[in-house]
Structure 1
């Protein structure tokens, strides 16, 4: 290695290295393994992962470096100018084979029954570097397993102590739940306290594990990798639109794994997206068309059901009809719903079913700072959001920014849990969130930053003070130069806004408070998906309802007259538009249940039954070719009334109760993050009302009354009660104020 640069024409931050005789440029400070990967030169490894800190504890990547007497670990040896590395020399191969021999000393010979078999890094590398006969006759050690929850299965005897899982929970998830215990040959990986993993990203330890020590408990013993077919799809439970693969066998979705996309989800996947496929196979899945005669449900043919639906729409055209779509509805379905509303002569069409306050005519907007740039921010302000549960992988990006020195400030009605330190917090009642954004000290902090993200979440967007908070956030961004990132309320809220699923007359709240004669509801579970459940059920119950539904659930059957079974996203070809404005394509993976059909096909058939324009296409390509983004500017509606006395409600969505499919995934419902419905009060309010921790309280709003267990926590702002939506027990309570008393 010369003191003079080998190649003086390289940029000043690069050096020249030679790997297996191949000359290449590598950034200063990078490791040999990174340079080799960039050049496509394979070096075996177990502990190294390009998203995790370097541990250098498996030693599988030992290589020969000129002028170094001993083999060097490629993952932990920085490149130097003129360095010559040989990865396939006799010294390198002997070192790698010796390491493999030691790794296999205690590894059990259970490949035939191991879920990792067929996609195991240890299995693959042992074929190239392992011996056919072991030289060791000692008894293999056995490590007891511990139950770490309903999502991840353990077989720790297989563990090779690469510590990838330890580093993942520490660095990426930020929960520090796994670690090494004991020393030497007794070293084992575990949770210390024997409790289940509580991170919302726990399934990623399965992906990073190079052996079968940590596997997918839901998928366990279901199939072999070579039996599975991979289909590209998307996460549809939040607005990020994580890229993923559905692994199917004979049309059944057996597991979900991440698909790399650095601009969206990197190589990670939230547990909500990974395990929700269980909900596809719920007992109440809508499988056949149903019609109601004299209050009784019966199965019908598609022709009969479509004829009944068409008759309802013909009898209730114009302003008498309301069209309501779930905000995870695809772009293609949204386009056809807009055409259907136009054909019926109604301007009452909306997807903003979670929101109380649309008095500013707000619609979903793309992030002003792309997700990939959030990790580069130096100041992040989070307003009205339980970000860790609302957008787990955006929360992870904020954590990454924090590890690089960013200061994170929060303005919330509840001191929600985050996996990073908070530089400043303002925990105030929901009605004070807008005023808190006017705080001059907070604005000065934001002005001092060069790259500032202002993230506004569901607690703010869906509450009764949403318009005031949005105005305050916009003013804050204009005054400080912060980039405003309002989280779209729904997996495809941005796409539906672009495709015209917005009202030119009544919005979602208005068409339910001022009931219409008939409704089309699309992909909605009426008993749990509306902002104001009581008024929604009252309006729908008194009207004629055509339900395009994934589930024939009790609340749908209570209000509908016709149920048309449609496919969920993993079962259809569709596009969704995420919070960065990226339109992403999902391919059908699972088979449709029973005689259910893709939603666009059912809408096309109904449009044809009505003789409407815009339904003449014959396939999905024909539909997509005719889609033109629509410019719809919804009118402002009246602000909800929040007058009166009582506790202000801070309503957040329970992480695993966010939509109908997630609510039907048994593994997610067993997760410790999925808590029972409850009302959480500040200790001062609890004392004033005579509540003790665990007492049962009665909470009454204008729409209804809920009886809930009471929890006491000073993380809740005084004068506020924190309640999670998505539960039947909390459904009677909308945002606003409640009167509380002992049950």
Structure 2
């Protein structure tokens, strides 16, 4: 520690800490523009000049490390003169745009100019003008206002990992822009809006819509990925104007993914449902809430009574109750529904007598559901992820699925950690990959088995229950990966993680969305567990959405009720519900034809159902075709609730704007449905009551996962010679809200998902070229799609994105496909 003196008062700090950090920690204000606590020091704006004893000239506080006995004055005549001189230079070319600038009222330049600027400019020459360029649908540019602080440039290089913006030219002719004529396409690009200290970079979707002093700022939690980013929602006249990050170093630091920043636009989509509706004699009619809820309850009771009568006609009372437990009514929800909504939905369904409830819409293999943990998490905190020495990611396009977790891994990689990947596509990452294996879907199991064998061979370990290992071959990539997993890594500040002491290293094995959706997920998970144990690490999960963990804990699964309590009769899981016709369905916040892994089967099954109740925020022609009651529900920012993020942290939030029209929070709708069905335990007044009921039952005790075998006893091996389908859910198609955020749908990421993606060799073999249309045959279904040459796709595979209306008819996300030239 060193003792220094600032403005006559002593302070202590670590030797080498920058002056500006010491000042900030002690509430001493020093003006700045280029400095940011999460970026490297540029010292380019010179606004933070301070008077340092024995220094021949004022020194930049952001780039001056403290030393023992240093004396600093931030408000001396020398310091103030330097700061005012810099301010005058910065204003030479800055336009007088304040009355029309979106940054007006919350502009750092405005604030500092009031304190350090002159009343009248002495500059008499002409000001420079910079012509703006379109850098995409998310960021508006007014580069004449730019003061060359380079925050946006450093953000691209240091945080995004993609230098999309840079500086060209010298002096006042310096220009900030893209190096080539292209848009800014990173999934974190919107953060430059927050970083810009002036109005040079602003949010294009909210441009010219509000002044800073008209806006109310309210806290909330982002509703998409499992990070649970803390956000502040800016509201004007009960309408959301924009969403910005709220600082939380343990979760999202000061950053926010573009999906969380701009998806609020979906709240105001033209197909928003604002009134309850019922279908009578095939005709949709608007109605009041009482009539709609009564209609819904009557329809569900009719199915129950029919089922009950059929059972009592042939069986005794005990058999009737057993049959009642297998009630032909199922419920589907999404992993973005709140904890309270998931809890009340499963409570309602189980009160009716059905355990068929699920949120796992992308999963098809449920063989090991009983051994899953209470809820899936990283197995460590988000902040600890960047402290790992070795991370093996299995089946994840992490950069698009979980942008801020990807950022944590990038920080780990920059620190020296080894990142290993096993994926079906050769995704582009923004950090160095130590070793990667790109493998077709049918070879995932044998690839992981080979890695297990390499680990066992390297440790001279024996696994008696896995005789099949003798038949497994090991290639060089698997040996290299095994060597990295078992080699002691020495990087600073990396105590072993709780999975084991393996040589003083922190090892994590993470299963992603593509692994979870794989048709052999149970075997993959078992092999991943073996890899984690053999490498002395932990097995973690990359939960799919904002409340995947909460859905598990709430009991929105068919084999467990709330808090992981086993049920007497296991219900149907999501895939079975959407492929085996039930008589009735309750849908919460989803469009099954787009959100499930078999849209064609989901659509056909729902259209055959006798009665479908949909709690939905949107009305679509497809929904009209199979639903019988539409109950308008509140969305993100309109309702209160709780999300449990990927580290298991509970984060509650309140509604910040009123629901659209007559829409109501889903937990309230479910509460009334429970009361109308005369079910016990539905007399809640607030969502906090629902949350607290779960909390009290939990009592802080988290159940550990059931023990599973180190390795599977048998190894399922597929031999496929035809083209295999790979399916990935695009970053901006994952839920009903983001699909309707127009600015996000105009991005490069959203536009790139069209068509069938194949590599050049597959295209040549099929006599296809870019721009051709091809007929894609999968089973008995076929669609015509444009050809996209994509060399990320391995041989013998095609990539067809999920969540797309054009692809629904193809059916399941995995399987064999055939390509032919479309006529």
TM-score (norm 2): 0.86
Which of 552, 557, 574 aligns to 1:502? It is: 557
Tell me how far apart the structure 1 counterparts of residues 529 and 168 of structure 2 sit (CA, whole Å).
Answer: 50
For the pair 1:593 / 2:660, whether they are aligned, the reply is yes
- Check whether the contact 2:391–2:419 (CA below 8 A) recurs between aligned residues: yes
Tell me how far apart the structure 1 counterparts of residues 538 and 787 of structure 2 sit (CA, whole Å).
Answer: 38
For the pair 1:396 / 2:407, whether they are aligned, the reply is yes
For the pair 1:198 / 2:185, whether they are aligned, the reply is yes
Which of 527, 540, 545 aligns to 2:612? It is: 545
The corresponding residue for 1:350 is 358
Deviation at 1:643, TM superposition (A): 8.2
Query: Residues 429-448 of structure 1: matches in 2 within 5 Å?
Result: 429-437=440-448, 438-439=450-451, 440=454, 441=479, 442-448=481-487
- Check whether the contact 1:413–1:720 (CA below 8 A) recurs between aligned residues: no
Query: Residues 505-654 of structure 1: matches in 2 within 5 Å?
Result: 505-543=571-609, 544-627=611-694, 646-654=722-730
Which of 788, 813, 817 aligns to 1:735? It is: 813
The residue matched to 2:25 in structure 1 has which SS? helix
Tell me how far apart the structure 2 counterparts of residues 385 and 732 of structure 1 sit (CA, whole Å).
Answer: 25
The corresponding residue for 1:5 is none
Greater mean deviation of Cα atoms: 30-39 or 731-740 = 731-740
Tell me how far apart the structure 2 counterparts of residues 224 and 405 of structure 1 sit (CA, whole Å).
Answer: 45
Deviation at 1:696, TM superposition (A): 1.8
- Check whether the contact 1:689–1:740 (CA below 8 A) recurs between aligned residues: no
Tell me how far apart the structure 1 counterparts of residues 543 and 255 of structure 2 sit (CA, whole Å).
Answer: 21
- Check whether the contact 1:526–1:555 (CA below 8 A) recurs between aligned residues: no
The corresponding residue for 1:269 is 256
Consecutive aligned runs of 4 or more in structure 1 exceeding 4 Å deviation: 628-634, 639-645
Query: Residues 206-605 of structure 1: matches in 2 within 5 Å?
Result: 206-317=193-304, 318=324, 319-361=327-369, 362=372, 364-437=375-448, 438-439=450-451, 440=454, 441=479, 442-448=481-487, 449=489, 450-503=505-558, 504-543=570-609, 544-605=611-672
Q: Which deviations, in whole Å up to 9, do the C-alpha atoms of 1:14-63 show, x marking residues without a partner?
A: 22211112222212221111111111111110000000000000000000
The number of residues matched between the two structures is 727
Deviation at 1:192, TM superposition (A): 2.0
Tell me how far apart the structure 2 counterparts of residues 703 and 348 of structure 1 sit (CA, whole Å).
Answer: 29
Tell me how far apart the structure 2 counterparts of residues 77 and 55 of structure 1 sit (CA, whole Å).
Answer: 12
The corresponding residue for 2:107 is 120
Q: Which deviations, in whole Å up to 9, do the C-alpha atoms of 1:168-226 show, x marking residues without a partner?
A: 01110011011111111211111121211011111100000000000011110000111
Unaligned stretches of 5+ residues in structure 1: 1-13
The residue matched to 1:569 in structure 2 has which SS? coil
Which of 28, 34, 45 aligns to 1:41? It is: 28
TM-score (norm 1): 0.95
Deviation at 1:659, TM superposition (A): 1.1
The corresponding residue for 1:659 is 735
Tell me how far apart the structure 2 counterparts of residues 32 and 206 of structure 1 sit (CA, whole Å).
Answer: 27
Deviation at 1:465, TM superposition (A): 2.3
The residue matched to 1:732 in structure 2 has which SS? helix
Q: Which deviations, in whole Å up to 9, do the C-alpha atoms of 1:584-633 show, x marking residues without a partner?
A: 11221122111111111111111111111111223334333333558899
Tell me how far apart the structure 1 counterparts of residues 540 and 787 of structure 2 sit (CA, whole Å).
Answer: 34
Tell me how far apart the structure 2 counterparts of residues 252 and 190 of structure 1 sit (CA, whole Å).
Answer: 32
- Check whether the contact 1:645–1:739 (CA below 8 A) recurs between aligned residues: no
Greater mean deviation of Cα atoms: 516-525 or 453-462 = 453-462
Deviation at 1:556, TM superposition (A): 1.6
Tell me how far apart the structure 2 counterparts of residues 633 and 526 of structure 1 sit (CA, whole Å).
Answer: 30
Deviation at 1:499, TM superposition (A): 1.0
Deviation at 1:703, TM superposition (A): 6.9
For the pair 1:163 / 2:150, whether they are aligned, the reply is yes
The corresponding residue for 1:9 is none
Return closer, same or farther for 1:112/1:47 CA change in 2, 3 Å cut-off. same
Deviation at 1:641, TM superposition (A): 12
Unaligned stretches of 5+ residues in structure 2: 305-323, 455-478, 490-504, 559-569, 709-714
Tell me how far apart the structure 2 counterparts of residues 411 and 643 of structure 1 sit (CA, whole Å).
Answer: 20
The residue matched to 1:215 in structure 2 has which SS? strand
Tell me how far apart the structure 2 counterparts of residues 685 and 609 of structure 1 sit (CA, whole Å).
Answer: 58
Return closer, same or farther for 1:76/1:540 CA change in 2, 3 Å cut-off. same
Tell me how far apart the structure 2 counterparts of residues 633 and 105 of structure 1 sit (CA, whole Å).
Answer: 64
Deviation at 1:713, TM superposition (A): 3.0
Query: Residues 55-134 of structure 1: matches in 2 within 5 Å?
Result: 55-134=42-121
Deviation at 1:646, TM superposition (A): 2.5
Tell me how far apart the structure 2 counterparts of residues 642 and 592 of structure 1 sit (CA, whole Å).
Answer: 50
- Check whether the contact 2:52–2:70 (CA below 8 A) recurs between aligned residues: yes
- Check whether the contact 1:143–1:156 (CA below 8 A) recurs between aligned residues: yes
Tell me how far apart the structure 2 counterparts of residues 467 and 554 of structure 1 sit (CA, whole Å).
Answer: 37
Greater mean deviation of Cα atoms: 724-733 or 83-92 = 724-733
The residue matched to 1:48 in structure 2 has which SS? coil
The corresponding residue for 1:3 is none
The residue matched to 1:256 in structure 2 has which SS? strand
Tell me how far apart the structure 1 counterparts of residues 612 and 704 of structure 2 sit (CA, whole Å).
Answer: 25
